[in-house]
Amino acid sequence: MNIKTLSVAFLLAWSTMSCSKFLDKEPENEVSVDLIFSDMQGAKSALAGVYNNLFQSDYYNGVRMVYPDLLGGNLTFAAAGRTTLLDVYSFETDADNDTMNKLYSYQYTLLNAINNIIKRVPAITNISTLERNHIMAQAYGLRALVHFDLVQFYAQPYLYTKDASHMGIILAKSTILPKDAQIARSTVAEVYQHIESDLNLADSLFANSKTVFEGNAKIYMSLQASKALQARLALNRNDWQKAYAFSAELLKANYSLYNHAEYIDSWKQANTKESILELAVPSNYSGNSIGSYYVKEASNSYYQFRPSQDLLGLFGQDDVRAAGGIFKYPTLQTAVTSVKLIRLSEMYLIHAEAAAELGYTDEAVLSLNAIRLRGNPKLGAYVFNTKNLLINEILDERRRELCLEGLLYLDLMRRGLSVKRNDCTGTNCNVTFPNDHMVLPIPKQSVLSNKRMIQNPGY
């Protein structure tokens, strides 16, 4: 079911505006904003607008998903003359012209929109407590999601320093006005603590709430999606016990894996039984899908990437996930489908990795084999040998199962692993961790307009 178009044009225009400055401001027309948040329908429309903007090609239906797979080595360039992200792919970007700069400003614009919901919904009177809690829970969960993306892209991983005291990002704890935009970056530890706090708050609100949207619940933040994000968060800071607990809880929830025969077609569908969180196609959407980057057709001017031989070489001959060389988001242009943000198979693999690190070998192998044998039943079950070999196999299985889902490079970073790309068309195909250029620069304009901003080292 598509999310309804945001009915309040003023808020939509504000929340999608381009931002050349450090951060976009709260709308100055307070009368218009007060009107938007005068009742539950306005609050729902504002929230729907956030989901619509998450879907756009400037975010999850585009570079947010392509970037980690391209840098990690799952993708390489396939179309001559098309060089989107070539600078970051070659680790030769600069703060002035970085092709990811637009994403940075887009994310902070979106955080301002979310913070306006958090600020104004509590003052709405003609709404039940349960419904208000549901809107607030979604807003806190979405704020955590965007902050999590920012800290993974623009800061070194959590374990870069022993206590995660290195520079993180600017935390948008509230709507940031121009007069308040002189803000210092928080440490990575502080950012993770804030994300965890938002998710815990979302959990408590979801537990005492009533849904305000009809239709497919998987296209909105939920208690289960919040717990899945907490599993990812714990994984990133090697909190194996929490990663194990959250993923184990989700394995018992009301989701199920597609079988071997169903798997390919599931990527052409919305509201899949394996999805914990999807982004629905907005009802008025007329753009392209992620598949446009990968589908080679004469009429497709977006085509420019192909799966690398490094990736394809990881699949066995009978692995359904390598069918046709590309197997996710096969659609383009008007044949757009929802973006899968969190799937059950990821929870299996988080559970496997955490269990392996904790020494729960049997559980780790069981969760690994659930995904391994679904992809390639002829491969046979994995048999435990050593802890290191098991963890390496789990990481390889993550690369096979979760490819093109925007996770590979983030996996390398959180594990402190280097980039090794054999099928590579750029310079600097291999980069040893740690490296200053393994994180993106803060856009130059953001540094110039904020006296308290410190640029990432190396830029």
Cβ neighbours of residue 429 closer than 8 Å, sequence gap 6 or more: 419, 420, 421, 422
Half-sphere exposure of 143 (CA within 13 A, CB side): 31
The predicted pLDDT at position 167 comes to 98
The structure tokens 């709405």 sit at 124
**CB–CB of 1/35 below 8 Å?**
no
Question: What confidence tens digit (pLDDT) does each residue in 386-414 have?
Answer: 999 999 999 999 999 999 999 999 999 99
**CB–CB of 361/384 below 8 Å?**
yes
The domain made up of 9-288+305-448 is a member of CATH 1.25.40.390: yes
Tokens encoding 310: 């490094």
Rounded-to-integer distance, Cα 401 and Cα 314, Å: 11
* 353, pLDDT greater than 80: yes
What average pLDDT does range 70-98 have in this prediction? 93
pLDDT category at 17 given cuts 50, 70, 90 is very low
Rounded-to-integer distance, Cα 404 and Cα 267, Å: 12
Question: What confidence tens digit (pLDDT) does each residue in 201-229 have?
Answer: 999 999 999 999 998 999 999 999 999 99
Question: What confidence tens digit (pLDDT) does each residue in 117-154 have?
Answer: 999 999 999 999 999 999 999 999 999 999 999 999 99
Tokens encoding 383: 């048999």
Rounded-to-integer distance, Cα 242 and Cα 227, Å: 10
Rounded-to-integer distance, Cα 414 and Cα 156, Å: 9
pLDDT cut 90: percent of the chain above it: 78
Largest CA distance in the chain: 66
> Any idea what DSSP says for residue 440?
P
Backbone φ and ψ of 343, nearest 5°? -120, 160
- Terminal CA-to-CA distance of the chain, rounded, Å? 44
Rounded-to-integer distance, Cα 247 and Cα 249, Å: 5
The structure tokens 């995904």 sit at 371
**CB–CB of 394/364 below 8 Å?**
yes
* 333, pLDDT greater than 90: no
The predicted pLDDT at position 268 comes to 87
* 8, pLDDT greater than 50: no
pLDDT category at 334 given cuts 50, 70, 90 is low
**CB–CB of 122/136 below 8 Å?**
yes
The predicted pLDDT at position 326 comes to 63
Mean pLDDT of the chain: 90
Half-sphere exposure of 273 (CA within 13 A, CB side): 9
* 26, pLDDT greater than 60: no
* 300, pLDDT greater than 90: no
Question: What confidence tens digit (pLDDT) does each residue in 243-264 have?
Answer: 999 999 999 999 999 999 999 9
